Amino acid sequence: MIPNDFSTDGNSLHHNLGNKGSVCTIRVGSRSLPLYPLVIVGLGLLNTILLLTAIVIGIYCENNYLPSLPTFLSIGGQASEVSAPHQITVQALIVEVKQLQVMQTDAIKAQEEAQQALKKELMSHQQLKLQLEQNKTLSNNIQRQLETLHVEKATLQSDTSDTEGSCGRCLPGWFLANTTCYFHSKSTSNPLKNWHDSRADCIRRGANLTVIDSLEEQLNLHEALPRLDPSIRPWWSKPGGVWFGLSDIQSEGNWVWLNNVTLQGEGYWIPGEPNDYGQREDCAALMVMKNPRAAWFDADCQGEKEWLCEMEPN
């Protein structure tokens, strides 16, 4: 009878508390969690009180009934009737103590589980924090790299525009104007040459005397030449001007470019030019005048001057 009572009541209570415990475990990190220690302490105290009570009653009962044991043995049925209320009380108390012990164990288990879950949460939270920091650092690094690249790009762009002006796409000693490379023989570093020798020199350099195909080219050259050599002599001084690839050697007054294309339009002659002065001026030279549209004159092809070669860029 007694063991049966123990197991049934104990189980039912265990189930109840188990459910309660699992409910609390699910709500990890909620406000209800800090109540556990109080509950456990309360249960522990109650447990102890009940245990003490049970012991006291037990001792009391034993003392009470030990002397009357012979009576109990001799009388039999009568003794059982007398002892029954006390025995039931003790048994009930023992059962209750056991139930409380089970409850306490369950509560401790639930608390441990909750603590473990909390620890796990904290760990994953910390990991996330770490990852976030790493990502921040990474994105900062990328941002810095991007800025460095922007600076490098700007530097390269300015470098490119610098080299384009000199040796980037043209040979050393040549200069780029718009899309063409030019060589200007400066009187200081090159002896002056007549038109034919100038032409030969350009060919030797893998180029030609300059053919001015458009107003843009004329303007570009006019702008570039003074910057390269501000000391270009006035056209009337001897020997002045710069040979380029235009002549009327084949037929007087019929100005033809080196590529056998006849001069289209008026050209950019200085007023009064070409005048075939002395009837021996069949080659064209250019000057850097105030007006870039009035910069050419004809001169004796045997006269020695600077010259201007042109070549497509690499």
Ligand X SMILES: *[C@@H]1O[C@H](CO)[C@@H](O)[C@H](O)[C@H]1NC(C)=O
Binding residues (CB under 6 A) for ligand X: these are 128, 131-132, 135, 178-179, 206-208, 216, 220, 258-260, 311-312
- Please, which residue, 76 or 253, has the CB nearer to ligand X? 253
Residue 289: name its binding partner from ligand X, Ca ion, none (Cβ under 5 to 8 Å by kind): none
Measured between alpha carbons, how far is 276 from 49 in angstroms, rounded to an integer?
138
Minimal CB distance to Ca ion: which residue? 211
State the nearest-atom distance from the C-beta of 179 to ligand X, in Å: 5
State the nearest-atom distance from the C-beta of 208 to ligand X, in Å: 4
* Residues within window 197-236 making contact with Ca ion, judged by CB under 5 A: 211, 213
N residues, the chain: 314
Residue 147: name its binding partner from ligand X, Ca ion, none (Cβ under 5 to 8 Å by kind): none
Report whether the peptide linkage leading into residue 274 is cis, meaning its omega lies within 30 degrees of zero.
Answer: yes
Report whether the peptide linkage leading into residue 34 is cis, meaning its omega lies within 30 degrees of zero.
Answer: no
Helix (H, G, I), strand (E, B) or coil at 250: coil
Residue 124: name its binding partner from Ca ion, ligand X, none (Cβ under 5 to 8 Å by kind): none
Which residue in 34, 35, 37, 57 sits closest to 45, CA to CA? Answer: 37
State the nearest-atom distance from the C-beta of 134 to ligand X, in Å: 7
Q: Which residue in the block uniquely carries the two structure tokens 């037929």?
A: 251
State the nearest-atom distance from the C-beta of 159 to ligand X, in Å: 22
Helix (H, G, I), strand (E, B) or coil at 254: coil
Helix (H, G, I), strand (E, B) or coil at 277: helix
Q: For 49, phi and psi rounded to 5 degrees?
A: -60, -45
- Please, which residue, 187 or 208, has the CB nearer to ligand X? 208
Residues forming the site for Ca ion (CB under 5 A): 211, 213
